[in-house]
Chain A
Amino acid sequence: MLKGRHLIDPMDFTTSELDEIFSLAEKIIEDEGRFKDACRGKLLATLFYEPSTRTRFSFEAAMLRLGGSVIGFSEPNSSSVAKGESIRDTIRTISCYADIAVMRHPKEGAPKLASMYSSIPVINAGDGGHQHPTQTLTDLLTIKCLKGQFSNLTIGLCGDLKFGRTVHSLIKATSRYENNRFVLISPKELRVPDYIRKEVLDKNNIQYVEVERLEDVIGELDILYMTRIQRERFFNEEEYLRLKDSYILDMDKVNRAKEDMIIMHPLPRVNEIDYEVDEDKRACYFKQAKYGMYVRMALIMKLLGVEENA
């Protein structure tokens, strides 16, 4: 039962609960018009303590397409937070007005704290470098719709694997399904943290390799998940400049890939995927953004407990 629950960590839901969300999302994709009034009369509060146009728009579009309404703030200076209101007081007040809340916050654990004091479902829309569970749902729905399965896949993850929270969550989430193999492609300095290697991969006997060159392994992959090397994650400019261009996907590399490989990216991209790749049928990152909206529609409906055929 997902009604009334919070989504704070990508692993909060079991695989069968995730299946419930994905099968509803697929119904929405099939016939979106049927759901245009599913959330009529319901109010979503978007509490964005740091700017994030993409995720906020995705949530707002999801709620509006379900016939619901949206209130909120997109940066803390325009809210009572600027007067020093605590997260607990903010969520308690918002709980009086809205039916469901989405929170992005630069501090790790802020949505968890909010969920402990909230009487309405709280969705974590990113808490610093910690968790971003709806990105994981987006990635999983993309894989389900485009590959038809979550098992028996060779998944390549490329770029900043050290700080990229979407990568860590995706590894954890896809590790719950059978017979997946990971190819971890990154500079030595930006490899996955030890805890992912030990507590997720080694602990569950999952096959993986760590390599430095994308072109050597691209031919093996069913999925290539590209990530941005974020400037703000570096301690100094020199280090950033040395590594930022290490992993650029261009058509030379894509031509070595399987015909049915899919290229994913959480967006926004900087220069890690050449624009010429956008025209290739394997480029799925804009579809992925659309799946993100659909999965958020399904998630909102499930947490609110609204009827599918409302």
Chain B
Amino acid sequence: MLNIDSIKNGIVIDHIKAGLGIHIFKYLGLDRADYNVALIKNAESNKLGRKDIIKIENIIELNYDVLGLIDSNITINIIEDEVITKKIKLNLPEEVVNIIKCKNPRCVTSIEPNIKHIFYLVDKQKGEYRCLYCDEAYSNMEV
């Protein structure tokens, strides 16, 4: 197992499905970070077989809806003075606003200025969402 220093104050994003870590890393802009960050790919996991982990030596703002949408199995650990002070288990959000954009060219979102793109969860198992306006279906895997 690769040895990565434990962090003093920051965030550990754990149980990321192997392969998705790089997308989350980029989404959070960590490739441009000027503080310590680590992306661990394909770490061994009892639960998942293989998983990705991101360690961030900083407290940054996270959008749990976006992260839950990318991978609802993620666990977020908040570390203070080398101790886990908060553990957050993510879920698929019931509603997502301005994260997915409706691709249906016939949808009202294609013409109305400054409209909120709203999607609601219709099938938790399949991770299926529908546009609030036109009912166009999206899978969370497309995000």
Contact = CB atoms under 8 A, between A and B. Distances in A.
B131 interface: yes
17 contacts: A86-B113, A106-B106, A107-B107, A107-B108, A107-B111, A108-B133, A108-B134, A108-B135, A109-B108, A109-B131, A109-B132, A109-B134, A110-B133, A112-B133, A113-B133, A128-B106, A129-B106
Which of the listed residues B106, B109, B132 has the most CB atoms from chain A within 10 Å of its own CB? B106
Nearest to A87: B112
Main SS at interface, chain B: loop
Contacts, number: 44
B113 A109 contact: no
Interface residues of B, number: 16
B84 to A, nearest CB: 41
A210 to B, nearest CB: 22
Interface string B110-126: 11110100000000000
Contact of A108 (B107, B113, B115, B137): B107
A176 interface: no
A88 interface: yes
A170 to B, nearest CB: 17
The number of chain A residues touching the other chain, given as a range, is 10 to 19
Contacts of A105: 108
A107 B106 contact: yes
B108 to A, nearest CB: 4
B104 interface: yes
Contacts of A109: 107-109, 131-135
Main SS at interface, chain A: mixed
B112 A130 contact: no
Interface of B: 104, 106-113, 115, 131-135, 137
Contacts of A129: 106
List 5 tightest A-B contacts by C-beta distance, closest first.
Answer: A109-B133, A108-B134, A109-B108, A107-B108, A109-B134
Nearest to B109: A109
A86 B132 contact: no
Given A108-B133, A108-B134, A130-B134, A113 B113 contact: no
B110 A107 contact: yes
Nearest to A129: B106
A86 B108 contact: no
Contacts of B109: 109
A128 B110 CA distance: 13
A108 B112 contact: no
A51 to B, nearest CB: 18
Interface in A66-114: 86-88, 105-110, 112-113
Contacts of A87: 108, 112
A113 B133 CA distance: 7
Contact of A130 (B110, B115, B132, B135): B135
A108 B106 contact: yes
A308 B133 CA distance: 33
Contacts of A86: 112-113
Which of the listed residues A87, A88, A105, A113 has the most CB atoms from chain B within 10 Å of its own CB? A113
B110 to A, nearest CB: 7
Contacts of B137: 195
A106 B113 CA distance: 16
A88 B55 CA distance: 44
Contacts of B115: 113
B122 to A, nearest CB: 9
B132 A108 contact: no
A195 B132 CA distance: 17
Contacts of B107: 107-109
A200 to B, nearest CB: 13
Given A108-B133, A130-B135, 17 more contacts: A87-B108, A105-B108, A106-B106, A107-B106, A108-B106, A108-B107, A108-B108, A109-B107, A109-B109, A109-B132, A109-B133, A109-B135, A112-B132, A112-B133, A113-B108, A113-B115, A113-B133
